[in-house]
Amino acid sequence: MQNKDFLIGIIGPTATGKTDAALMIAQHYNVEIVSADSSQTRIGMEIGTAAPSIEQKSFVRHHFVNFIKPDSDWNIKKYVELAGNKIKHLNERNRIPLLVGGSGLYIWSLLEGRSIPEVKPNLILRRELEVVAETNGHEYLFNLLQNEDPVSAQRIDPFNIRRVIRALEIIRTTGNPVQPIEYKDIYNAHLLALEWPEAVLSERIETRVNDMFQNGFIDEVKSLLLKYSPTLEVFKSIGYQEAIAYINNEITLDKSIEMTIQSTKRFTKVQNRWFKKNDSRINWIPGHNKDILLEHIDRFIAQEKNNE
């Protein structure tokens, strides 16, 4: 075996078919799925996050899916440590880790061995900065970052409000900027992503959101609100704020669905900045022809065996 742990990744934006592709791969190879979806970690949020079903999880083992409560402490640093240990353990057992998800920060933090700042969340400051963004727009918020931490501003997407706020949180809490990230090739990682024409992906998103609401999403949110405060960070995941607004009689159900669809489409644009078509590490596959995935994986595994 090489010194680097081997893994295969099915990554990319929402609604591209990552879960179905992963299950197809599991029919042909000795894999266990290592989730890279930040929202799917939470118990009780299965419908709203399109988490794998009980049946799907019984077919192939999933890690880091629906395993912590919505109010439990969880962050990228913990994920990188635990997921890294799991990938190593699976390699030792001669099982293939199949990294599946669309959380770009989780995926690249893991694969690049990023050093995650140990700065506890400052919820008061976060809320203040969120109000700034809501009141003045993302450009104003990003200008704050450019003034306070120009180095970080050069590599952070201005539209990714959460990352901008986190960078401001770190500089204001520690007095030090977010440390530059140097790419480290620490895994023998083979990454695949499914590509769809924009119009087709838009239709897939609309279908997914409509199915989500038809399959009991509102009841899921109502059940969560009986146990947890609506101000929890996890309820900022797409769909939950829209569902809460409907439950509070602030908007109609149709409006809630429409807003969730639009939020999801905007989010895929953010994801596209994490998963760029010109990134040589990612093999883009036509979404309608998943059989090509198996050809790629056969080649990846053959390469791995030749390197042993």
Q: Which residues of 139-148 are buried (b: 16+ CB within 10 A; e: fewer)?
A: eebbebbeee
Residue 263 lies in a domain: yes
Q: Where are the beta strands (DSSP E) in 62-136?
A: 62-63, 96-101
Can you give the pLDDT at residue 115? 66
181 located within any domain: no
Q: What percent of the chain has pLDDT above 70?
A: 95
Same domain for 89 and 224, yes or no, is yes
- CA–CA gap between residue 37 and residue 41 (Å, rounded): 7
| 211 lies in the same domain as 302 | yes
**Residues 215, 68: one domain?**
yes
- CA gap 115, 122 in Å, rounded: 20
Mean pLDDT of 147-165: 82
Q: What is the mean pLDDT of the chain?
A: 90
Rounded to 5 degrees, what are φ and ψ at 219? Answer: -65, -35
Q: Is 12 part of any domain?
A: yes
The answer on 63 and 40 residing in a single domain is: yes
| 183 in any annotated domain | no
How do residues 19-59 score in pLDDT, each as one tens digit? Answer: 999 999 999 999 999 999 999 999 999 999 999 999 999 99
CATH code, 169: 1.10.20.140
Q: How confident is the model at residue 1 (pLDDT cuts 50, 70, 90)?
A: very low
Domain count for the chain: 2
Same domain as 132, residue 110: no
Question: How confident is the model at residue 178, as a pLDDT?
Answer: 65
- Residue 209 has a pLDDT of 98
205's tokens: 């998103």
Tokens standing for residue 212: 């989500």
Residues 276-287 as b or e (16 or more Cβ within 10 Å = b): eeeeebbbebeb
- Of 3-12, 128-137, 202-211, where does mean pLDDT reach its minimum? 128-137
| Together in a domain, 246 and 109 | yes
> What confidence tier does 124 reach under pLDDT thresholds 50, 70, 90?
confident
Query: Is 169 a domain residue?
Result: yes
Average pLDDT estimate for 99-103: 97
Query: Do 296 and 161 fall into the same domain?
Result: no
How far apart are alpha carbons 66 and 224 in whole angstroms? 14
- E strands of the chain, at which residues? 5-11, 31-35, 62-63, 96-101, 187-195, 282-286
Phi, psi of 65 (to 5 degrees): -120, 125
Torsion over CA of 227, 228, 229 and 230, rounded to 10 degrees? -100
CA 131 to CA 135: how far, in whole Å?
A: 6
pLDDT of res. 116: 63
CATH number at residue 205: 3.40.50.300
Residue 133's closest CA among 146, 121, 142? Answer: 142
Is residue 236 pLDDT above 70, yes or no? yes
Is residue 234, in this structure, part of any structural domain at all? yes
Please check the confidence at residue 114 and state whether its pLDDT lies above 90: no
Mean pLDDT to the nearest integer, 76-104: 95
Residues 201 and 266 occupy one common structural domain:
yes
Please check whether residues 142 and 107 belong to one and the same domain. no
Same domain, 233 and 270: yes
3-state class of 157 per DSSP?
Answer: coil
CB count within 10 Å of CB 235 equals 20
Quote the domain boundaries for residue 151.
123-174
* pLDDT bracket for residue 208 (50, 70, 90): very high
Whether 180 maps to a domain, the answer reads no
Tens-digit pLDDT profile for residues 180-207: 555 567 899 999 999 999 999 999 999 9
Query: Which is more confidently placed, 154 or 301?
Result: 301
Question: In this structure, are 43 and 62 located in the same domain?
Answer: yes
Single-letter amino acid code for the residue at 207: T
Q: Which two three-digit tokens encode residue 228? A: 């947890």
211 and 244 assigned to the same domain: yes
User: How far lies 245's CA from each of 70, 126, 253, in Å?
Assistant: 19, 21, 9
Domain assignment present for 128:
yes
